[in-house]
């Protein structure tokens, strides 16, 4: 039985992985400036181009800024919204008001009820991007986080939704090891000093992707005019 996959929007990455496994949750982590939101938007745009109804939940930026960011890479975000393929849920700014009006949920959700993020999704939603989960994870103990995160991943799987969940660096340091057990795949975006060029570069680590041959080496990437592009294939020796 062949596992259905959905293109990430990064051509070279899709050649390596074949895309993200459909109906599964993939975790994306990284420090500021590594391109996490760009990755999320690029994935969302790619899914919409494929005709997959996509919801982008943003807890840190408003939709206007995301549209502007998308347009800078040539992605016709507003056109996709008008066609009903893409919708934004904003939880930035006054989060309590946004949650009550946009998702019609109780104030308790502010304390970390992740499952509420999967409710009230438009009918036919196939893809969900959560950018990022950090604001919902504050003040949670590791045990509370594990319970809520497991429930979120389980709910998404039951709905057949392919999801990208983004962690900021603070959330990643505190809960990354816990989240790795629950997600189907995980990608870490990093910056490092290249000892051969004396320049900083961005690299991508495919930490895991079940039922997929993954490269052992880090993958160097750049953020260009069209979004994220792998700048060199590296050593694509893979492990199952």
126: number of Cβ within 10 Å: 21
Query: Pick from 2, 163, 128: which is nearest to 54 by CA?
Result: 128
Question: What pLDDT is recorded for position 189?
Answer: 97
Report pLDDT digits (tens) over 184-231: 999 999 999 887 788 899 999 999 999 999 999 999 999 999 999 998
Report pLDDT digits (tens) over 144-193: 999 999 999 999 999 999 999 999 888 888 899 999 999 999 999 999 98
Burial, 5: exposed, middle or buried (Cβ in 10 Å; 0-12, 13-18, 19+)? middle
CATH code at position 49? 3.40.50.300
Question: What pLDDT is recorded for position 135?
Answer: 76
Angle, helix 36-49 to helix 63-71, in steps of 10 degrees: 80
Q: How many domains does the chain have?
A: 1
Joined tokens for residue 87? 């919708």
Query: Pick from 70, 51, 47, 63: which is nearest to 162 by CA?
Result: 47
Helix, coil or strand: residue 152: helix
Distance CA 91, CA 100 (A): 10
Average pLDDT over residues 226-238: 71
What average pLDDT does the chain have? 87
Average pLDDT over residues 71-91: 95
Lowest mean pLDDT among 49-63, 113-127, 167-181, 207-221: 113-127
Domain that includes residue 44, residue range: 5-239
Q: How confident is the model at residue 99 (pLDDT cuts 50, 70, 90)?
A: very low
Residue 118 has pLDDT above 90, yes or no: no
What percent of the chain clears pLDDT 90, i.e. is strictly above it? 67
Residue 110 has pLDDT above 80, yes or no: no
Q: Which residue has the higher pLDDT, 163 or 137?
A: 163
């Amino acid at each position: 039985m062949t596992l259905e996959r959905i293109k990430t929007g990064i051509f070279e990455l899709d050649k390596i992985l074949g895309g993200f496994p459909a109906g599964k949750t993939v975790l994306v982590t990284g420090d500021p400036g590594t391109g996490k939101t760009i990755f999320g938007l690029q994935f969302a745009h790619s899914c919409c181009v494929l005709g997959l109804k996509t919801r982008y939940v943003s807890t840190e930026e408003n939709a206007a800024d995301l549209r502007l960011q998308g347009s800078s890479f040539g992605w016709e975000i507003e056109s996709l919204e008008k066609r009903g393929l893409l919708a934004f849920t904003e939880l930035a700014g006054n989060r309590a008001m946004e949650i009550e009006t946009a998702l019609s949920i109780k104030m308790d959700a502010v304390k970390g009820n992740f499952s509420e993020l999967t409710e009230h999704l438009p009918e036919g939603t196939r893809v969900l991007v959560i950018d990022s989960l950090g604001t919902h994870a504050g003040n949670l103990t590791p045990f509370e986080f594990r319970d809520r995160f497991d429930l979120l991943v389980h709910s998404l799987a039951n709905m057949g939704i392919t999801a990208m969940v983004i962690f900021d660096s603070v959330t990643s340091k505190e809960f990354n090891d816990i989240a790795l057990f629950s997600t189907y795949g995980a990608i870490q975006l990093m910056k490092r000093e290249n000892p051969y060029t004396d320049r900083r570069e961005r690299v991508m680590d495919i930490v895991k992707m079940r039922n997929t041959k993954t490269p052992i080496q880090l993958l160097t990437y750049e953020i260009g005019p069209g979004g994220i592009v792998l700048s060199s294939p590296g050593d694509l020796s893979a492990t199952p």
